[in-house]
Amino acid sequence: MAKDMLFATLDPTMRRVEMPDGPEIILSDTVGFISDLPTELVAAFRATLEEVLAADVILHVRDISHENSQEQANDVAAILSTLGVDENRAKIEVWNKLDLLPEDVQEARRQRATREEGIHAISALTGEGIDALLEDVATKLQGVRHEEEFTLTYAQGKQRAWLFQQDLVLSEEQSDEGFVLTVRWTDKQKAQFNAL
């Protein structure tokens, strides 16, 4: 259920998402963060929010059209700190519901999000900004990817198989020396390949 009301979502939801450049991730949608939560409910909500502690990247989705959006953001920061989330954990602030703002305010939010690292202005309703957000998530998870061309000899079947298993090969041609491959990978993946 998607509804603008407290406790509309009480259980974390997990979904498999295929990123634009191929890899798959698990996206976990936690319960909403609530300020001034009664003491007797804190333990129950803490258990559902602890998914955040295992996350590689935290997406803080804000209703940017809400009049108390900044206060809500401050509450979330305090709760993340209370949960023990490391300050250095990769985080992206997602300003959702851009479509509900007046056009001049929308443009101001877009400009600010463009200038500041780690902020994306989006509309889940219209899809605006989603592609750039997914690219940022992929970069934070995997690092910057770059293309490289090299040749593997016919005896290097293990290395060639690994590249295909990792879905890194963009193109392949055969030559007298072996397989001429064009791959798109991160520095980490290249290091793993070189360790084979």
Neighbours of 49 (CB within 10 A): 19
Handedness of CA 168, 184, 59, 68 (dihedral sign): negative
51: closest CA among 83, 75, 9? 83
In order along the chain (196 residues), what is the average pLDDT of each group of 10 residues? 57 78 77 64 67 86 93 85 83 96 96 95 96 89 88 97 94 96 92 94
Residues 188 and 181: their CA atoms lie apart, in Å, by: 18
First-to-final CA distance of the chain: 47
CATH of domain 13-142: 3.40.50.300
Q: Are 142 and 190 in contact (CB under 8 A)?
A: no
Which pLDDT belongs to residue 43?
66
Q: Are 80 and 51 in contact (CB under 8 A)?
A: no
Which pLDDT belongs to residue 63?
94
Q: Are 39 and 81 in contact (CB under 8 A)?
A: no
**Residue-wise burial string across 131-150, b where 16 or more C-beta atoms lie within 10 A, e elsewhere:** eebbebbbebebeebeeeee
119: closest CA among 127, 110, 131? 110
The domains of the chain are located at: 13-142, 146-194
Strand ranges of the sheet holding 169-174, from the earlier edge strand across to the other edge: 146-153, 178-185, 169-174
Residues 7 and 155: their CA atoms lie apart, in Å, by: 59
Structure tokens at 166: 């990792």
Which pLDDT belongs to residue 174?
96
Strand 119-121 versus strand 90-96 pairing type: parallel
| DSSP character at residue 147 | E
